[in-house]
Chain A
Amino acid sequence: MTVHDAAEPGFPRTIGREIADPASIGVLSEEVARRGVRRHLQEVWEDHPGLHGFFTTVDHKRLGMRYLYTAFAFFFLAGAQALIMRTQLAQPDAGVVGPQLYNELFTMHGTTMIFLFNTPVLAGFANYLLPLQLGTRDLAFPRLNAFSYWVFLFAGSLMYLSYFAGRPPDGGWFAYVPLTLKPFSPTSAIDFWGLGVMFVGISTTVGAINFVVTIFKYRAPGMTLNRMPLFCWSVLTMAFMILFSVPAVTVASGLVEFDRIFGTAFFDPGRGGSALLYQHLFWFWGHPEVYILFLPAVGMMLTTIPVFSRQRLAGYTFAVAALVAIGFISFGVWAHHMFATGMPSLAMGVFSAASQVIAIPSGVLYFCWIATLLQGKVRWTTPMLFSTGFLIIFLIGGLTGVMVSVMPFDLQVTDSYFVVAHFHYVLNGAVVFPIFAAIYYWGPKMTGRMLSERLGRISFWTMFVGFNVSFFPMHLLGLFGMPRRVFTYDRGWGWGTLNLVATVGGFVFGLGTLLTLVNFLWSKRRGTTAGANPWHADTLEWATTSPPPEYDFAEIPVVAGRHPLWEEGSFPVAAPDPSGAVAGLDVAAAEDREMPVVDGIESLPEDTMRIPEPTWVPLIAAGGLLVFFLGMLVRASLVGVAGVALAAVGVAVWTWRARDDER
């Protein structure tokens, strides 16, 4: 094979050996093994045994899996909440749950799905996959990664603590003021929400920083931005969006807590505050957030659809431009959640138009997929079924999205079941279906074993039918006047049949997701062995064993195109550079826990980074923050101060140790 870039100045002169079987670079080649370093590598990379290792690991794969398990625990919890609500709504004037419990259910369902499932589950996949797809050994900041996970776990636990200590939040997942201020919500229920949102925002933010730096500085040699896998592009866009939008929700929930704890009046109209200011702040994050959840799912679909069409993606550059364009435009549409607040009509016109424009990059993505499908030959595996399900469901969700961006129409359907249907088509259908595709697609890489195709197909069809039966009728309910967030409805309004259908569909959908859970747990132990590249895919995560070794790649691969594993001929890996100018690539570097640092654009190696040892400090720092937020919750300032002090000690030890980690 030709490695064009190898001739370019600054690129490692020595490409080293070319390996016929790409899968063998994850483990040591026999030659290296003969030198007896295999044992040594394991000693260098292994976590501590048992619980010690559990609490101190900084391995992106272990943490990524932990993200996925935790997020899915929240997914099934929030799903159960949804089914209780659907049971209550199955018939008019039902008495399954009362209004208070119902309000708590929809508040926690939305909060959990957005903050504790969708966001972290995608972070989990990004965590696991980025270093593998980029061809390196870990994320840029492994300890920050561990910190991010612990903060996520603690923040989620803090919110659910409300069920055991006090009352669960009941202000809706967007917690509009003044309803959530002290005079109208006097108990601590809202504090669990406000503090939890701020807390989990820390996790999301540091995670995003980690992804951005990893993508720019830790790609395999030769992987220019122009050759980067599209999933990485989608994560990069997502991460930038998080960095610019999450501060807004932190401020929004922070000011709510200021009003509640310290008696300020940011949002109290009676004392000169503004109720609408909160909505602007919240949706300035809230709308980009929709795309923060959606873009990585698109990235997954841009990965799976070409692989199972046996065809490179048509229009790579178009797809990248579409991802980035959606990222930018999504910051100019937030007020379309507020058309009914009585905004001036010019402002509404601008937000309405900007919202409609998002249809264009979405159209581009669709025609990239269609062009790929037309030129390819589809293999109907379970991931491909879920991907096709995504194409159909997102088509409906996208079209109703254009409808609700039409301001006059939105005045009728906003806050009705039409909007409930719309956002479940995009946030459940167009995000959860890709996530399930990803489980079937990358699961074998993570566990080393294939999931059952047979059960996978049954699960897909159950979910696809259940999903549409559940959510499609909700469009009609909204048009027929059913507002969202009502715990019951009048028998005479004729909503009973459609609600019953939606409830039946909801249970079928829930059953479908359980089938995949069973499939995953069963296959993890009993599935057939996957091998390095069971799908004949093109990206680097398939160039190492399944599951990958702790160090991901014994020797760092060299990339010469967008589809390294689809290139003709053997697979190049970087070899030691005798001049010492380019380090971090070979087995010797792996033995030193090192990985290469590259320049941001051309991906030429320029330095090395030492991956830190397992450590307690991320857990301690995150625990300090937990103590702080618990202190704020019970209004005990001393406890809060102690928490900050503990976190500060953690960070101090962390930075102190960082000096040892330098060479």
Chain B
Amino acid sequence: MRTRFAAVVLGTLVLAGCASRSSPNSLDPAGSQARSISGLWWVLLWTATGVFVVVLTLILWGAFGRRRGNPGGLGDHRFITVGGIAVPFVILAIVGVLTVTVARDISARPEDPFRVEVIGHRWWWEVRYHDTGFVSANELRVPTGRPVSVTVRSVDVIHSLWIPQVAGKLDAIPGQPNHLTFELDRPGRITGLCAEYCGIQHTNMAIAVVGMEPDDFSKWMAEHSARTSPVSPTSAAEARGEATFMQEACSGCHSIAGTMATGTVGPALTDLAARPLLGAGAIPNTPENLRRWIADTQGVKPGSLMPTLDLPPDEVDDLVAYLTGLR
């Protein structure tokens, strides 16, 4: 039995090491908060393993050993008091101190953080950059090495923002803004998810978190905050697509900075083509998938609040041409 357990523990370690790199693995931290918590996890795991081995040994010894008159030579009551009260008390006291230490660590409010707002919708995330007023969706870009303070809100039901590699969860609750602090310490893209069941498409509610070197980030932010005039179409198809977008239902729900499209019901599309995924993680963002998405939204993400629009195929092509130019 103990061999089996040792195998299980070893298996844990091996699997923790080789879970796919792109997975939102809380044991592969990319920020100080997640690092504190994963450190805590390893302490908890080894403590629990120690307790498990000792107690299991006692159980098996009792079950298979010969009859003994007096447990541990202490008598029932002392044996139970020591094993069941005193020892657990000491272990819990240590765990308690650890809890408080790490809790204080992760709830510290840094000075001068980068501020951003993430708002849960059914079933996508709105991202608002306060400093510049730029609005995006399902992708959160942050400078690395600087604390980020996220105001988490919801406009409908309760969601929960979970970016396992940088921090624990924080619920997005209607009527109650919450504040999540984290720091991303390496550039690159990691995955965030919705962790509170929020309806039919709870599963497809991912948010990409992109860490950028501070200089790159400033450049990107400046580029996007300056975008007050529309991106000029570079082809006839794009121009027709833009016209379709503005005339059809699209612009009633979606916004594109610098255009007449100012809808707030659906995700902002200003930088749609720069995002890796469509439908908050439902499918990869390729031109073919974008066509599928527009032509058959309900087939790709059943229950999504975006209706299938029944546009003629050539109009869909134009829309795809237009939208793939939005970066």
A367 and B79 contact, CB distance less than 8 A: yes
Residues of A338-371 whose CB lies within 8 A of B:
340-342, 345, 348-349, 352-353, 356-357, 359-360, 363-371
Q: Whole-angstrom distance from the CB of A217 to the nearest CB of chain B?
A: 31
Known: A100-B302, A374-B62, A378-B63. A314 touches B71 (CB 8 A): yes
Q: Whole-angstrom distance from the CB of A94 to the nearest CB of chain B?
A: 12
Query: Which listed residue (B23, B76, B156) contacts A178, Cβ 8 A?
Result: B156
On chain A, the number of residues with a Cβ less than 8 Å from chain B's Cβ atoms is 86
A342 and B23 contact, CB distance less than 8 A: no
B99 and A407 contact, CB distance less than 8 A: yes
Residue A166 lies at the interface, judged by CB distance under 8 Å to chain B: no
The CA of A268 and the CA of B40, in the complex, are separated in Å by 38
The CA of A348 and the CA of B96, in the complex, are separated in Å by 12
Residue B59 lies at the interface, judged by CB distance under 8 Å to chain A: yes
Known: A370-B71, A402-B95, A483-B162. A342 touches B170 (CB 8 A): yes
A179 and B41 contact, CB distance less than 8 A: no
Identity of the chain B residue whose Cβ is nearest the Cβ of A170 in the assembled complex: B200
A318 and B77 contact, CB distance less than 8 A: yes
B88 and A493 contact, CB distance less than 8 A: no
Residues of A within 8 A of B52 (CB): 395-396, 399
Known: A176-B196, A368-B80. A492 touches B23 (CB 8 A): yes
Q: Which of A367, A396, A399 has the most CB of B within 10 A?
A: A367
Residues of A within 8 A of B69 (CB): 375
Identity of the chain B residue whose Cβ is nearest the Cβ of A473 in the assembled complex: B15
Residues of B within 8 A of A494 (CB): 19-20, 22-23
Query: Which listed residue (A309, A409, A493) contacts B22, Cβ 8 A?
Result: A493
Residue B102 lies at the interface, judged by CB distance under 8 Å to chain A: yes
Contact indicator per residue, chain A 167-209, by CB within 8 Å of chain B (1) or not (0): 0001010001011000010000000000000000000000000
A409 and B84 contact, CB distance less than 8 A: no
Q: Whole-angstrom distance from the CB of B101 to the nearest CB of chain A?
A: 9
Residue A263 lies at the interface, judged by CB distance under 8 Å to chain B: no
Q: Which of A172, A357, A365, A375 has the most CB of B within 10 A?
A: A375
Q: Which of B124-132, B171-179, B210-218, B256-264 contacts A (4 or more CB under 8 A)?
A: B171-179
Identity of the chain A residue whose Cβ is nearest the Cβ of B76 in the assembled complex: A314
Chain B interface bracket (under 10, 10 to 19, 20 to 34, 35 or more): 35 or more
Q: Which of A27-35, A410-418, A521-529 contacts B (4 or more CB under 8 A)?
A: A410-418
Residues of A within 8 A of B106 (CB): 408, 411
Query: Which listed residue (A99, A360, A374) contacts B89, Cβ 8 A?
Result: A360
A172 and B197 contact, CB distance less than 8 A: yes
Q: Whole-angstrom distance from the CB of A281 to the nearest CB of chain B?
A: 15
20 residue pairs from A and B, CB less than 8 Å apart: A178-B157, A315-B80, A341-B178, A342-B179, A345-B107, A360-B88, A369-B62, A371-B71, A375-B70, A402-B44, A408-B99, A411-B106, A415-B160, A415-B162, A415-B196, A416-B195, A476-B12, A476-B15, A481-B162, A486-B203
B176 and A342 contact, CB distance less than 8 A: yes
Residue B55 lies at the interface, judged by CB distance under 8 Å to chain A: yes
A374 and B68 contact, CB distance less than 8 A: yes
Residues of B within 8 A of A498 (CB): 15
B37 and A415 contact, CB distance less than 8 A: no
Residues of B within 8 A of A356 (CB): 92, 95-96, 99
A99 and B173 contact, CB distance less than 8 A: no
Residue A632 lies at the interface, judged by CB distance under 8 Å to chain B: no
The CA of A318 and the CA of B76, in the complex, are separated in Å by 10
Known: A172-B197, A415-B169. A270 touches B63 (CB 8 A): no
Residues of A within 8 A of B68 (CB): 374-375
Identity of the chain A residue whose Cβ is nearest the Cβ of B55 in the assembled complex: A395
Residue B26 lies at the interface, judged by CB distance under 8 Å to chain A: yes
A485 and B55 contact, CB distance less than 8 A: no
B23 and A412 contact, CB distance less than 8 A: no
Q: Which of B40, B87, B106, B175 has the most CB of A within 10 A?
A: B175
Q: Whole-angstrom distance from the CB of B47 to the nearest CB of chain A?
A: 9
Query: Which listed residue (A340, A412, A472, A481) contacts B37, Cβ 8 A?
Result: A412
Query: Which listed residue (B23, B44, B195) contacts A415, Cβ 8 A?
Result: B195
The CA of A352 and the CA of B95, in the complex, are separated in Å by 11
Q: Whole-angstrom distance from the CB of B285 to the nearest CB of chain A?
A: 14
Identity of the chain B residue whose Cβ is nearest the Cβ of A494 in the assembled complex: B20
Residues of B within 8 A of A365 (CB): 84
A275 and B88 contact, CB distance less than 8 A: no
Q: Whole-angstrom distance from the CB of B88 to the nearest CB of chain A?
A: 4
The CA of A154 and the CA of B174, in the complex, are separated in Å by 36
Q: Whole-angstrom distance from the CB of A414 to the nearest CB of chain B?
A: 6
Residue B226 lies at the interface, judged by CB distance under 8 Å to chain A: no
B48 and A403 contact, CB distance less than 8 A: yes
Residue A388 lies at the interface, judged by CB distance under 8 Å to chain B: yes
Contact indicator per residue, chain B 199-211, by CB within 8 Å of chain A (1) or not (0): 1111100000000
Residue A621 lies at the interface, judged by CB distance under 8 Å to chain B: no
Known: A269-B175, A485-B197. A371 touches B100 (CB 8 A): no
Residues of A within 8 A of B105 (CB): 408
A353 and B96 contact, CB distance less than 8 A: yes
Contact indicator per residue, chain B 291-303, by CB within 8 Å of chain A (1) or not (0): 0000000000011
A371 and B76 contact, CB distance less than 8 A: yes
Residues of B280-319 whose CB lies within 8 A of A:
281, 302-303
A483 and B76 contact, CB distance less than 8 A: no
The CA of A402 and the CA of B303, in the complex, are separated in Å by 38
A373 and B59 contact, CB distance less than 8 A: yes
Contact indicator per residue, chain A 219-253, by CB within 8 Å of chain B (1) or not (0): 00000000000000000000000000000000000
Residue A276 lies at the interface, judged by CB distance under 8 Å to chain B: yes
A388 and B59 contact, CB distance less than 8 A: yes
Contact indicator per residue, chain B 96-112, by CB within 8 Å of chain A (1) or not (0): 10111011011100000
B80 and A371 contact, CB distance less than 8 A: yes
The CA of A378 and the CA of B122, in the complex, are separated in Å by 57
Query: Which listed residue (B48, B77, B99, B107) contacts A352, Cβ 8 A?
Result: B99
Residue B31 lies at the interface, judged by CB distance under 8 Å to chain A: no
Residue A423 lies at the interface, judged by CB distance under 8 Å to chain B: no
A364 and B99 contact, CB distance less than 8 A: no
The CA of A553 and the CA of B76, in the complex, are separated in Å by 35
The 6 closest A-B pairs by CB, nearest first: A411-B168, A373-B62, A494-B20, A269-B175, A481-B24, A342-B178
Query: Which listed residue (A179, A388, A413, A493) contacts B24, Cβ 8 A?
Result: A493
Q: Whole-angstrom distance from the CB of B52 to the nearest CB of chain A?
A: 6
Residues of A within 8 A of B244 (CB): none
Residue A635 lies at the interface, judged by CB distance under 8 Å to chain B: no
Identity of the chain B residue whose Cβ is nearest the Cβ of A384 in the assembled complex: B63
Residues of A414-457 whose CB lies within 8 A of B:
414-416
Known: A274-B175, A396-B52, A406-B40. A375 touches B15 (CB 8 A): no
The CA of A353 and the CA of B63, in the complex, are separated in Å by 33
Residues of A within 8 A of B302 (CB): 98-100
Contact indicator per residue, chain B 1-43, by CB within 8 Å of chain A (1) or not (0): 0000000100010011001101111110000001011101100
Q: Whole-angstrom distance from the CB of B80 to the nearest CB of chain A?
A: 4
Residue B58 lies at the interface, judged by CB distance under 8 Å to chain A: yes
Residues of B within 8 A of A388 (CB): 59, 63
Residues of A280-324 whose CB lies within 8 A of B:
309, 314-315, 318, 322
Residues of A within 8 A of B195 (CB): 340, 414-416, 483
Q: Which of B65, B99, B102, B170 has the most CB of A within 10 A?
A: B99
Residue A391 lies at the interface, judged by CB distance under 8 Å to chain B: yes
Residues of A within 8 A of B202 (CB): 99, 103, 485-486
Residue A392 lies at the interface, judged by CB distance under 8 Å to chain B: yes
Residue A254 lies at the interface, judged by CB distance under 8 Å to chain B: no
Residues of B within 8 A of A492 (CB): 20, 22-23
Identity of the chain A residue whose Cβ is nearest the Cβ of B69 in the assembled complex: A375
Residue A488 lies at the interface, judged by CB distance under 8 Å to chain B: yes
Q: Whole-angstrom distance from the CB of A193 to the nearest CB of chain B?
A: 14
The CA of A434 and the CA of B125, in the complex, are separated in Å by 45
A184 and B175 contact, CB distance less than 8 A: no
Residue B191 lies at the interface, judged by CB distance under 8 Å to chain A: yes
Query: Which listed residue (A315, A341, A407, A409) contacts B76, Cβ 8 A?
Result: A315
The CA of A355 and the CA of B12, in the complex, are separated in Å by 26
Residue A495 lies at the interface, judged by CB distance under 8 Å to chain B: yes
Residue A400 lies at the interface, judged by CB distance under 8 Å to chain B: yes
